[in-house]
Amino acid sequence: MDPSEQLEIETRIGDVLKSIFDPEIPVNIYDLGLIYDITLDEEHIAHITMTLTAPNCPMAEELVEEVKYKVGGTRGVKECDLKLTFNPPWDRSMLSDEAKLELGFL
């Protein structure tokens, strides 16, 4: 896969992640800063490292499944390998400017 194709697919994955919203906060998981890493390997497997706003999030399982399902269904992606981490723990500093504006922090 050439670099431009990889970039195009990774951009598509980012757009998909921006369509997934945290159930407790009206902001998408990408702008919330919950996505730590997105890589696409030569086999077209998307490797996503993400966190949650809190380790005891009651919707954690549903959110993880939604990410795996939607990213795995993205054009150019064969499957989604998702790793959930709490290191570093999420905090407000990870919010994008758009999210801060949406939540009234700017």
Do 13 and 40 meet the contact criterion of CB atoms below 8 Å apart?
yes
Q: Residue 27: what pLDDT?
A: 93
Exposed e or buried b for every residue in 73-99, given b needs 16+ CB within 10 A?
Answer: ebeebeebebebeeeeebeeebbeeeb
Two tokens, residue 79: 């499957």
Among 56, 75, 74, 58, CA closest to 20: 74
Which residues, at least 6 apart from 62, have a Cβ–Cβ distance to it below 8 Å? Answer: 23
CATH architecture assignment, domain 3-102: 2-Layer Sandwich (3.30)
- 46-68 confidence digits (pLDDT tens): 999 999 988 888 888 999 999 99
Q: What is the mean pLDDT of residues 70-85?
A: 97
**pLDDT cut 70: percent of the chain above it:** 100
What residue spans define the domains of the chain?
A: 3-102
Q: Residue 56: what pLDDT?
A: 87
pTM here is 0.92
Q: Residue 1: what pLDDT?
A: 84
Q: Does position 105 have pLDDT exceeding 90, yes or no?
A: no
